[in-house]
Amino acid sequence: MSFFKQLTLGLSDFLELNPNITDIKIEERMPCDPSAITTWENQENVFLPEPLREFYCATDGFLMTWNYIIADESLPVGKLAIPRLEQLETWQHNSEDTNKDLQQKYYKLDAMKDEAAVYIILSPNVKCTNYGAIFYQSPSGNKKLVDSFIEYFTLLLVYRGLPEWQSYHLGFKTSYWSELLFVNFAPHTTKIIVAESSEERKELWQKKLSNRDLEYLYQEYPSGSVDANLFKTRKCKPKESNNP
């Protein structure tokens, strides 16, 4: 099994069970050279959390996309993305928290509409003693999303890269279109939506959720989480010095 098949826990095979899902693409990127990561850390005056560092040692970011055919038109629906190392840039955090450490630096992992963003907080010259908690900010609020990069990447897979999955996961308001996507492509995540929705929408979702044609969606996927040890199987070898 290829590295990227293992990395995505076989998501592409799972999506292919739906004949209307098309154009499933994964960019098979090369690993970052360890020296390039060290150079980036020195330039930014921060240290990456170990799981994120190991990830970049295995692949320079990640991009997977997939489309869905509606009325004979192939529409982009799923997008799972982690920026390349050189694209991991500081971000002007808009939080009004007066207790925040002004020395901390915010790095954006993903950006959505309405200035929503996923970000990680790093402190200058401080080695990460944890796995690097990841946060989410949107017009609905600002909240910790997960405790580590491994958890974040696993959730990307669980939610199939659907739009607004971060808002939904935290219980924030999402668009009606996104709610329909959750019902159709990730019904195991729709319990909160169905419980808190209008009678009209409940009827729609209950009808969708009772459709046995969608039975494949109820299979346990993923059956586990991404194993950080996988990153170590694809490390780029450090460049050899030309010095005698």
Q: How high is the pLDDT of residue 67?
A: 97
User: In terms of Cα–Cα distance, which of 38, 39, 36, 33 is closest to 57?
Assistant: 33
Coil/strand/helix, residue 152: helix
Coil/strand/helix, residue 102: coil
pLDDT truncated to tens, each residue of the chain (244 aa)?
A: 689 999 998 899 888 888 899 999 999 999 999 999 999 999 999 999 999 999 999 999 999 999 999 889 999 999 999 999 999 988 776 655 544 555 788 999 998 877 789 999 988 877 765 567 899 988 877 899 999 999 999 999 989 999 999 988 888 888 888 888 888 888 777 654 444 445 554 555 555 545 444 444 445 455 567 888 888 887 665 555 444 4
Residue type, 34: P
Q: How high is the pLDDT of residue 165?
A: 92
Q: How high is the pLDDT of residue 195?
A: 45
Q: How high is the pLDDT of residue 130?
A: 58
Q: What angle separates helix 199-209 from helix 176-185, to the nearest 10 degrees?
A: 20
Q: How high is the pLDDT of residue 217?
A: 44
Rounded to whole angstroms, how far apart are CA atoms 123 and 200? 48
Rounded to whole angstroms, how far apart are CA atoms 146 and 81? 16
